[in-house]
Chain A
Amino acid sequence: MTEATPNGAGRIISMSAVTKRFGDFAALKAVDLEVGLGERVVVCGPSGSGKSTLIRCINQLERHDEGRIVVDGIELNDDVKNITSVRREVGMVFQQFNLFPHLTVLQNLTLAPMRARKTPKSEAEALARRYLERVRIPEQAEKYPAQLSGGQQQRVAIARSLCMQPKIMLFDEPTSALDPEMIKEVLDVMIELAEDGMTMVCVTHEMGFARKVADKMVFMDEGQIVEVGTPTAFFSAPESERTKQFLSQILAH
């Protein structure tokens, strides 16, 4: 594993002046963002502010219209090969889990390593079982996703991404679709991952999690990054009026 270098040398994600439009609506307006190797970034902001679009541009689930995105030294342009090789290095966890319902948990985990990395089956299965162990559900390997609880499904989804042994993990509101009592088991897995030095970009409203693991807080509003700062500064002394307002709304109760 790479050593955590929060503000250190290696930049692994670099976005400059990235703009994304959906028709006439600009979801991202000339956004700049740098993420260092091993850095944990938490992105927050009101709904419709462009947080999801931002991280979906990193693995090109959304193609950006303007600006430059470089991930792990590869520029994301029209070259499909570049996009595929970046996707193999970047894992993503979705709000709705998006597990493959027709495959068992084990098959969900081994599919990508076997097809995209040409890992032999036995090796892929050993890898899968190791990661299931790590997200604490080794006993569910032979079940189908629908037989699991939401929290378990999301942990399988995390394990599925980890099986590709990515350098970066993106989380798009990973706990927003979960029942309250299942949020903790997912966050615990994410905290462990952060402690192991994984580079992470998380869109989440779990401010407790953010305080605990984030090296950098990013606040977005109306397609722009309004404020970037350390969690301490961000929570205790936010600079912009908009951030203050947002924080008071979500931390009010």
Chain B
Amino acid sequence: MVGRPLVGRRLRLLAYILPTAALAGCGGNYNWGWYVVMPTTTQGQTNIQFLLGGLWTTISLSLLAIAISVTLGLLVALPGLSTRPAWRSVNRIYVELFRAIPILVMLLWVYYGLPVVLDIKLDVFAAGVIALALCDSAFEAEIFRGGIQSISRGQAEAADSLGLSYWDKMRYVILPQAIRRILPPLGNQFVYMLKMSSLVSVIGLSELTRRANELVVNQYRPLEIYTFLVLEYLVLILIVSQGVRWLERRLQADERQGR
């Protein structure tokens, strides 16, 4: 057992070196300039106002993209549950294709490519919504498919035997039960979408990240401004996860009543 203490010693060494390096970098040589985002100064207030100005764009971009991707995801999931191979392959092709495209690539392609292909004008916001929604819808489709498949076949058979139409069966019997099970992964996707919306800054949409970038360029205070940006996202995402938790608790309460 010669290796053990050696590894231990190396680890201990790392444990000393890392914080020291971090401290040297942050506390030591860097002069923090929090004034850029300090609400007590006029300069700080103007900057904060500028940064928060992207809030609504980020929120509406994400919300729209989520709404579209959930709808699209459900519509793509349904043929994936069909007994007919042709319908199922529609689902497979869609999912495999859109799941494979990186969001940033999709964004660039939609913004620069789509207007040429379809001969239309597309503003940055619309391009952002489309790209985010398309990429995310493939994941939503898989989440829906899994959730619906987890509902026992007897439920669908009971609905069928009563003469309910396909849509009534889905709407009143299957989906209300499936939604409880897919809420956690769905919440994950919501958070993911909110974060990925920052990529739209690349094509120039004035949302949170873009505004932070612009401010960095004329204030030369990247660390402070990006830290502020991190906090902005953190707050937004905490709100989203609280919302999802609340929904989950509500649906679980219904379920308990039912058990």
Enumerate chain A interface residues (CB-CB to B < 8 A).
59, 61, 84-85, 87-88, 90-92, 94, 96, 98-103, 111-112, 115-116, 144-147, 157, 160-161, 164
Contacts and interface: CB of A to CB of B under 8 A. Distances in A.
A98 B162 CA distance: 12
Contacts of B162: 87-88, 91, 111-112, 116, 160-161, 164
Nearest to A56: B157
B163 A164 contact: yes
Interface string B135-158: 000000000000000001011011
B160 A98 contact: no
Given A61-B157, A98-B158, A84 B163 contact: yes
Nearest to B161: A92
B257 A144 contact: yes
B172 interface: yes
A115 B168 contact: yes
Interface of B: 152, 154-155, 157-165, 168, 172-173, 176-177, 254-255, 257-259
Nearest to A60: B160
6 contacts: A61-B161, A102-B254, A111-B164, A115-B164, A157-B158, A160-B162
A87 B157 contact: no
A87 B163 contact: yes
Given A101-B177, A115-B165, A116-B162, A94 B157 contact: yes
- 6 smallest A-B Cβ distances: which pairs? A88-B163, A98-B158, A112-B162, A92-B161, A144-B258, A98-B154
Nearest to B163: A88
A101 B258 CA distance: 6
B258 A94 contact: no
Given A84-B163, A100-B173, 6 more contacts: A91-B162, A101-B177, A115-B165, A144-B259, A147-B258, A157-B158
Contacts of B258: 101-102, 144-147
Contacts of B173: 100, 111
A102 B154 contact: no
B168 A102 contact: no
A137 to B, nearest CB: 17
Contacts of A94: 154, 157-158
Contact of A116 (B154, B158, B168): B168
A98 B172 CA distance: 14
A112 B163 contact: yes
Contact of B176 (A87, A92, A102, A112): A102
Nearest to B257: A144
